[in-house]
Amino acid sequence: MLKSVSFGIGIFLLVLGLSLHTVDSYTVRPSVAAQATGVWGGPFQPTAKSVVPEPWKPWAYAGGGIILILWTCTLPARMKGK
């Protein structure tokens, strides 16, 4: 169980890091339902937000994912039951 969970988290971090290498910024726009009503039922006009990832984040996520995958592959096979 430990091997499969840590391997899955490692793959997720690796894919996240590689995907952050390909974008410059994300634009997050609110949904139509969020624009129709606010939190307290009043009119709500949110604006779109632009999210720019820091330059170190893709390297940290990809590196952490690779390290976790390699650590998982080097775990002994006898940990299967633990």
Q: Answer yes or no: is pLDDT of 70 > 60.
A: yes
Q: What is the pTM of this model?
A: 0.70
Q: Answer yes or no: is pLDDT of 36 > 60.
A: no
Tokens representing 64 are 């952490």
Domain edges within the chain = 2-81
Q: Answer yes or no: is pLDDT of 39 > 60.
A: no
pLDDT value of position 47:
76
**Residue predicted with more confidence, 52 or 82:** 52
What's the whole-number mean pLDDT along residues 53-79? 89
C-alpha radius of gyration, the chain, whole number: 20
pLDDT confidence of 35, banded at 50, 70, 90?
low
Alpha carbon separation from 61 to 35, 37, 57 (Å, rounded): 33, 37, 6
Query: Would you give the distance in Å from CA 74 to the centre of its chain?
Result: 25
